[in-house]
Amino acid sequence: MNGLRTMALMVTLTLMLVFIGGFLGGKTGMTFALVMAFGINFITYWFSDKIVLKMYRAKLVNESEAPELYSMVRRLAQKAELPMPKVYMMEQDQPNAFATGRNPEHGVVAVTTGIMRILSREELEGVIAHELAHIKHRDILVSTVAAAIAGSISYLAQMAQWAMIFGGRSSDDERGGNPIAALVMMIVGPIAAMLVQMAISRSREYGADAGGASIAGNPMHLANALKKLHMASQRIPMHANPATSHMFIVNPLTGGGILKLFSTHPPMEERIARLESMRSGS
């Protein structure tokens, strides 16, 4: 059911991109949007993992460099019936982690140096299991494509805005609606795309929490880790790209008030409550 919901949300995002392209630019705009969607999917499928790892200057580590972490990932990957993912380390004080890779055969688990300092072994196992669940569910590719398409919708809206400022479309182009409707579309389109992206990211996080608890064998390992990570993320800043913030186990960008409504992560209290209910069996 969760997979069908995510697929429906992805289709909605893609159709939104094409619809907005057609609304703002007629057949030309629709064609441009389709080409953009194809390019996004191609680049995302083949290069998204390399891009994000380079963005955070993550370094590949082997068993001799990080024996405890490496053996933990290998043991949990075997338990999850996954190929051994590559293990990366990021020199970041904020305790955090993410997974990437287009499929389980190309999976990557990346952790910060900060997370290695504050979590117990059991808590770190809960985090690693969460990231392996993302790999097993193929969440990373879905979330990255969603972020890219949402970004493209915003880009189309910006292009339309500049086109209106500098004269709009030529008279021989197809109808594109009145200027007020186009203005509404430019405002509402990116917001709607962001909301769909948030729905995808939040749905995937709940699924990875449940899957990680199953892999680790004790949901409280992850619940206790999330409590520590959430508190630390409020105190220790991290220079993270907002386009990739949804990939981390906890949001690396601090913000309260109304910003919480637009977070790509579910409320931490709800995540922890769900894990605790798994322990109690309710």
131 is annotated as an active-site residue = yes
Question: What's the rounded Cα separation, in Å, for the pair 226 and 232?
Answer: 10
Task: State phi, psi for 94 to the nearest 5 degrees.
Answer: -65, 130
Which of 131, 205, 269, 276 is labelled catalytic?
131
Name the residue among 144, 133, 95, 118 with its Cα closest to residue 252: 95
In sequence order, what are the residues at sequence separation of 6 or more whose Cβ sits closer than 8 angstroms to the Cβ of residue 138?
Answer: 103, 104
Look up residue 106 and give its two tokens. 């190309």
Under 8 Å between Cβ of 250 and 268: yes
Residue 93 is given by DSSP the state: S
Per-residue tokens: 100: 């990437």
Positions marked catalytic: 131
